[in-house]
Amino acid sequence: MNLLRSQIESSLITKKDHPNFKAGDTITVFYKIKEGEKERTQFFKGDVIQRKGTGLTETFTIRKMSNGIGVERVFPINSPGIEKIEINKHGKVRRARIFYMRQRTGKSARIKQKRQSS
């Protein structure tokens, strides 16, 4: 069953080559929006709070604060609407899913940055 599913997925979904990121990283996702016949690019910048799934059906969730209100958005990793993903900061967290960030605001909502090894 899994073999059949993987063959169907691979024929329908094209794999995109994005940079490696994980929970705690701050990224910017540039995605296309269609409004009638027009098409434009918009970006969503925030912290990755989880990556879920495997293979071609993998998704990731980004959280940002917009005017004091938390906004989360789920993106499929191989979505044709995603143009590119930029990594702004590599965060240092101990969990794969950092849902505790939903209750935090201000200074306690900061994520430590990984030190660059030279």
Quick check: is 18 in a domain? no
What is the DSSP code string of 24-79? T-EEEEEEEEEETTEEEEEEEEEEEEEEES-GGG-EEEEEEEETTEEEEEEEETT-
Number of residues that make up the chain: 118
Amino acid 110: pLDDT: 86
Whole-model pTM above 0.85? no
Give 109's pLDDT tier (boundaries 50, 70, 90). confident
Residue-wise pLDDT for 14-62, tens only, equals 777 788 999 999 999 999 999 899 999 999 999 999 999 987 788 999 9
Identify the helix (H) or strand (E) that includes residue 5.
Answer: helix 2-12
Residue bearing tokens 């209100």: 69
Domain coverage including residue 97: 23-101
Tell me, what CATH number does 65's domain have?
Answer: 2.30.30.790
Closest residue by Cα to residue 111 from 26, 22, 21, 20: 26
Residue-wise pLDDT for 72-85, tens only, equals 999 999 888 999 99
Quick check: is 107 in a domain? no
Quick check: is 116 in a domain? no
Quick check: is 90 in a domain? yes
| Number of domains composing the chain | 1
The rounded radius of gyration (Å) of the Cα atoms in the chain is 16
Quick check: is 84 in a domain? yes
